[in-house]
């Protein structure tokens, strides 16, 4: 990825004619690009890179976030404590389930739906598009409240429907197992529609000449899908996969905080919620920062691996 | 980071003025110049007789549409039910009532919350539009020392999850005395790599002749930005503006950390209903419906632009 298109240089270095004011003009011209970059860059340095370094720093201290309490250096103690917490490993497992769920709702199901609906005329497609797009506009908090109501025990819509079929009613968000999958399904609801649209866009972008060639070669529909559609769609799919993995925490966090607060029994605590609780509920800043550092490193490795993959896969259809 | 290898990035290749992706791109269907509808027609003739699969496709899409729309419809229906009749499962309420809305307005300061949310969303989107426009313009227009390194600084910030930086950022906001203020929500969000990368991508396909012409006419770099680049970058700026506005309207996590008073922003206000011992679902649905309404209003007016902005950026 990160395709660098050649940029045309339009601003040749200005030639100074007289030394005095020209020097100032030259300095100014030299500084010009940096001046344009300064506001955005300052924002990133202050609000992304500075805190990143500070998080590393905090991870070696014992501190409770109060300005009046001194920080006590504890070396690597936070890290060793972190790795001995059973809750951490539970959170890692839960994160795995959430990520798998988001890949299901954000990549696999959309691919299936996209393939099944490939032959619908663009005209009727626009009607569906208008509707299935809606959930992505609904805020995570509202998503959570609406689903809390739908899943409400004793009279909630989901239980009512299950009752029609004589199925047992469940307190979805209060049981460790169902709560986990309820969170996945709710996040899935939010991203499914727009993911289908992304796949559809990717499918529509595949040039007709490929299908023509496949037709001449006498390929059947399954072959066309496997040998033509899938490879040409792979950059889109990989991109969606990466976004599903990397943005999973942002997607899931508000739903967790509104609906389950990580419970019951920590069943819905993923690594980011774990971090949040240690930081802002128990105010164990050192431990939370050590966790943040570890997650950042793992996240970075995964992200870089994904970028590599995307680079390798994106040579199609150029 | 997104925005880069998607197949439809090609639509942003050099296009003659006016610099706008062809309308059909909004139909999410790419057409190369001179290619003229071939994809559509060919895949149709090729799959002639696939009527059955079209019907199957409609069934799938109807089910999907029901699944996606039902919770939203249910939210609004419930909000208008009489408070004693909330769990009725009839599609049409027996009698309409605005009692839930009165309750919601009495329980939380809806007006103030909406006003604060508007201020935050407008400030964040305008701020990010401005900082990212300047930065993207610098990358597109100049070649300078450290250009690639600085670009990496922007891309690299994508690899830093919000949760990793939130503690030190909270400490800084608190030291600046910005806790429980709108500035505390806004200031840390005034610049983002995402916006810079998205605009940079659009500027890469910007017709060079236009910039060249401005230079020949002796226009300064600054003036060229506002008289040539911005007017021609309208669609891209609008798309980015939509994404930023919706994103910051719906933002929850950061305000949750730095603005915990009852009069913060609407997303936090809604949550207040859930902390009560028995949840008043009617008022909750009314407040949730109100919080969503402005975004739906934008969607009703700018539907194609909104869809295209989200689908192209890959944001979910």
pLDDT at A51 over 80: yes
Q: Shortest CB distance from B188 goes to which of A47, A192, A275?
A: A47
Q: Could you give the domains of chain B?
A: 80-313 (1.10.3720.10)
Inter-chain CB proximity B253 and A58 less than 8 Å: no
Q: Shortest CB distance from A10 goes to which of B67, B215, B281?
A: B215
Q: Which pLDDT does position B9 carry in this prediction?
A: 35
User: Any CB–CB contact under 8 A between A116 and chain B?
Assistant: yes
Model-level pTM greater than 0.90? Answer: no
Inter-chain CB proximity A145 and B316 less than 8 Å: no
Q: Could you give the domains of chain A?
A: 77-313 (1.10.3720.10)
pLDDT per residue over B183-220, tens digit each?
999 999 999 888 998 898 888 888 888 888 888 888 88
pLDDT at A107 over 90: yes
Label residue B91 by pLDDT band (50, 70, 90).
Answer: low
SS3 A127: helix
Label residue B94 by pLDDT band (50, 70, 90).
Answer: low
CA distance A251 to A247: 6
Q: Shortest CB distance from B196 goes to which of A40, A142, A205?
A: A40
Task: Say which DSSP state A229 is in.
Answer: I
Q: Which pLDDT does position B70 carry in this prediction?
A: 93
From chain B, the residues in CB contact with A310 under 8 A are 5
pLDDT per residue over A183-228, tens digit each?
999 999 999 988 999 998 888 888 778 888 888 888 888 888 888 8
The backbone torsions φ and ψ at residue B30, rounded to the nearest 5 degrees and listed phi first, read -85, 140
Q: Which pLDDT does position A61 carry in this prediction?
A: 87
| Lowest mean per-residue pLDDT among A110-119, A251-260, B50-59, B95-104 | B50-59
CA-based R_g, chain A, Å: 26
Inter-chain CB proximity B68 and A209 less than 8 Å: no
| Lowest mean per-residue pLDDT among A47-61, A234-248, B14-28 | B14-28
CA distance A224 to A266: 46
Searching chain A, which residue's CA lies closest to the CA of residue B281? A149
pLDDT at B36 over 70: no
User: Any CB–CB contact under 8 A between A192 and chain B?
Assistant: yes
Average pLDDT, chain B: 80
pLDDT at A261 over 80: yes
Residue located via tokens 């699969």: B53
Q: Shortest CB distance from B311 goes to which of A49, A197, A258?
A: A197
User: Any CB–CB contact under 8 A between B80 and chain A?
Assistant: no
A266: left (phi over 0), alpha (psi -120 to 50) or beta: left
- So what's the ipTM on this one? 0.85
Q: Which pLDDT does position B210 carry in this prediction?
A: 85
pLDDT at A143 over 80: yes
pLDDT at A39 over 90: yes
Q: Which pLDDT does position B99 carry in this prediction?
A: 86
Query: Which of A67, A201, A307, A314 would you mutate first to test chain B, the one with the most B CBs within 10 A?
Result: A201
B175 min Cα distance to partner chain A (Å):
9
Q: Which pLDDT does position B46 carry in this prediction?
A: 45
Spatial CB neighbours of B188, under 8 Å, sequence gap ≥ 6? A43, A46, A47, B169, B173, B254
**pLDDT above 90 as % of chain B:** 36
Question: Secondary structure of chain B in the HEC alphabet?
Answer: CHHHCCHHHHHHCCCCCCCCCCHHHHHCCCCCCCCCCHHHHHHHHHCCCCHHHHHHHHHHHHHHHHHHHHHHHHHHHHHCCCHHHCCCCCCCCCCCCCHHHHHHHHHCCHHHHHHHHHHHHHHHHHHHHHHHHHHHHHHHHCCCCCHHHHHHHHHHHHHCCHHHHHHHHHHHHHHCCCCCCHHHHHHHHCCCHHHHHHHHHHHHCCCHHHHHHHHHCCCCHHHHHHHHHHHHCHHHHHHHHHHHHHHHHCCCHHHHHHCCCCCCCHHHHHHHHHHCCCCCHHHHHHHHHHHHHHHHHHHHHCHHHHHHHHHHHCCC
């Amino acid at each position: 990825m990160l395709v660098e298109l050649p940029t045309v240089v339009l601003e040749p270095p200005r030639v100074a004619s007289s030394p005095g004011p020209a020097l100032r003009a030259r300095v100014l011209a030299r500084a010009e690009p940096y001046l344009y970059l300064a506001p955005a860059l300052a924002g990133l340095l202050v609000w992304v890179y500075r805190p990143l370094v500070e998080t590393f720093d905090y991870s070696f201290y014992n501190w409770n976030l109060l300005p009046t309490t001194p920080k006590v250096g504890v070396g690597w103690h936070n890290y060793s404590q972190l790795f001995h917490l059973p809750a951490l490993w539970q959170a890692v497992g839960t994160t795995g389930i959430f990520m798998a769920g988001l890949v299901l709702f954000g990549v696999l199901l959309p691919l299936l739906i996209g393939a099944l609906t490939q032959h619908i005329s663009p005209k009727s497609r626009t009607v569906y598009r208008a509707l299935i797009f809606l959930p992505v506009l609904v805020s995570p908090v509202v998503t959570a409240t609406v689903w809390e109501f739908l899943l409400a025990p004793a009279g909630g819509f989901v239980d009512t429907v299950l009752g029609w079929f004589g199925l047992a009613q469940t307190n979805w968000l209060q049981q460790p197992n169902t709560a986990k999958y309820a969170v996945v399904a709710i996040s899935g609801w939010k991203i499914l529609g727009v993911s289908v649209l992304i796949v559809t866009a990717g499918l529509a972008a595949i040039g007709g000449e490929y299908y023509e060639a496949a037709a001449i070669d006498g390929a059947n529909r399954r072959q066309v899908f496997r040998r033509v559609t899938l490879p040409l769609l792979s950059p889109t799919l990989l991109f969606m996969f990466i976004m599903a993995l990397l943005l999973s925490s942002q997607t899931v966090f508000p739903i967790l905080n509104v609906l389950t607060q990580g419970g019951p029994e920590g069943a819905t605590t993923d690594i980011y919620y774990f971090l949040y609780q240690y930081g802002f509920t128990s105010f164990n800043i050192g431990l939370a920062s050590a966790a943040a550092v570890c997650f950042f490193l793992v996240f970075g490795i995964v992200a870089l691996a994904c970028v590599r993959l995307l680079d390798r896969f994106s040579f199609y259809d150029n | 980071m997104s925005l880069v290898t998607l197949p439809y990035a090609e639509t942003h290749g050099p296009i003659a003025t006016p610099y706008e992706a062809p309308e059909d791109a909004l139909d999410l269907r790419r057409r190369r110049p001179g290619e003229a509808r071939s994809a559509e027609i060919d895949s149709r003739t090729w799959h002639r007789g696939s009527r059955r699969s079209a019907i199957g496709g409609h069934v799938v899409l109807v089910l999907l549409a029901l699944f996606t729309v039902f919770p939203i419809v249910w939210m609004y229906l419930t909000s208008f039910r009489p408070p004693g009749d909330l769990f009725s499962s009839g599609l049409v309420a027996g009698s309409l009532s605005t009692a839930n809305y009165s309750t919601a307005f009495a329980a939380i300061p809806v007006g103030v919350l909406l006003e604060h949310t508007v201020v935050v969303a407008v400030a964040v989107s305008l701020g990010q539009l401005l900082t990212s426009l300047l930065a993207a313009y610098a990358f597109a227009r100049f070649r300078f020392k450290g250009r690639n390194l600085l670009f990496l600084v922007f891309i690299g910030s994508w690899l830093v999850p919000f949760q990793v930086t939130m503690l030190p950022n909270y400490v800084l906001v608190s030291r600046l005395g910005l806790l429980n203020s709108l500035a505390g929500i806004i200031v840390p969000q005034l610049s983002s790599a995402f916006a810079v990368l998205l605009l940079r991508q659009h500027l890469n396909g910007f017709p060079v002749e236009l910039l060249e012409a401005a230079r020949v006419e002796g226009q300064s770099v600054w003036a060229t930005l506002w008289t040539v680049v911005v007017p021609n970058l309208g669609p891209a700026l609008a798309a980015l503006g939509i994404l930023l506005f919706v994103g910051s309207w719906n933002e929850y996590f950061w305000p949750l950390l730095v603005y915990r008073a009852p009069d913060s922003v609407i997303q936090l206000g809604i949550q207040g209903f859930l902390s009560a011992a028995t949840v008043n679902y009617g008022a909750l649905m009314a407040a949730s419906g109100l919080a969503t309404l402005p975004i739906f209003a934008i969607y009703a007016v700018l539907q194609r632009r909104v869809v295209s902005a989200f689908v192209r950026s890959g944001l979910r």
